[in-house]
Amino acid sequence: MELKGKVALVTGAGSGIGKATAVRLAEEGASVGVLSRTEEEVRETVREIEAKGGKAVALLADVADAEAMKQAVDKLVGTYGRLDIVFANAGINGVWAPVDELQPEEWDQTINVNLRGTYLTVHHTVPHLKKAGAGSIVITASINGTRTFSNAGTVAYASTKAAQVAMTKILALELAKHRIRVNVVCPGRIDTEINDNTQPRHTEEAVVPAEYPEGKIPLTGDTPGSSFDVAETVLFLVSDRAKHISGTPVWIDGAQSLLV
């Protein structure tokens, strides 16, 4: 129970990496704010945490909505009295298309959820972390835009992920004097539902041929990683075991991104 007495916010906690991490943090004693824009998913995550004896509160918000995020964070702090851990995980793949076909509104949607959403999550939570006297922030980026650039049509998505890594490093320095650590996880192929919000369109026009060895993930062949693999990494990064780690990206991909 290494997080006993801590309060955590997890965005995108209705499924996949966010849900797995919310459950894992609660198992280690944290009281968790479970945030998503999908009420049914949020309440299911809360029920799962409570069934295991943990504490959680459901928070409904679109991470790109400034007022909704403020209200959600205020509700979490009002419920538990403090905030110590922030996992800015919410994101979408959005539309994947050649740059001349990708429409401005499609670009904006991906930027708004992935980048504005991360900014708003940090913006509204940092004052509470400062008040607590210390804290830990973890951001979910991707191998795309950080070590992998060959997935066709990902100009908007990869741009947000590269920006999140840059944001992490800047914030790690800015917030160090407040004893707030900031790190970023960069998953590769993970068994989540993120492909459900991917909208590929004519990506063949943007393909650059690449040759792969047998199997796309060197460590596991063609078997993707688990959401819980990411959750365990996040648990480590927000715990005191990582007390001297800040500004660091961690790739969780079985060496996949070293090939592509």
**DSSP 3-state of 87:** strand
Which is more confident, 220 or 111? 111
Burial track 125-152 (b if 16+ CB lie within 10 A, e otherwise): bbebbbebeebbbbbbbbbbbbbbeebb
pLDDT per residue over 227-255, tens digit each?
A: 999 999 999 999 999 999 999 999 999 99
Residue pointed to by tokens 């959403």? 117
Query: Counting every residue, how long is the chain?
Result: 260
Q: By the 8 A CB rule, do 12 and 38 touch?
A: no
**Is the four-CA dihedral 213, 164, 186, 241 of positive or negative sign?**
positive
Domains and CATH numbers, the chain: 7-258 (3.40.50.720)
What would the pLDDT profile of 49-60 be if each residue is shown by its tens digit? 999 999 999 999
Task: Name the nearest CA neighbour of 102 among 248, 229, 201, 186.
Answer: 201
Give yes or no: 119 in active site: no
List C-alpha distances in Å: 199 to 27, 96, 222, 241. 35, 6, 23, 39
Query: So what's the pLDDT on residue 258?
Result: 87
Q: Please answer whether residues 93 and 106 qualify as being in contact, where contact means their C-beta atoms are separated by less than 8 angstroms.
A: no
Select the more confidently predicted residue: 98 or 197. Answer: 98
Question: pLDDT per residue over 201-228, tens digit each?
Answer: 555 665 655 555 555 778 887 788 999 9
106 to 45, 113, 155: CA distances (angstroms): 29, 11, 11
Q: Is 60 exceeded by the pLDDT of residue 116?
A: yes
Contacts of 258 (CB under 8 A, 6+ apart): 147, 218
Residue 186 φ/ψ, nearest 5 degrees: -125, 85
- Catalogue the E-assigned strands of 29-84: 31-36, 55-60
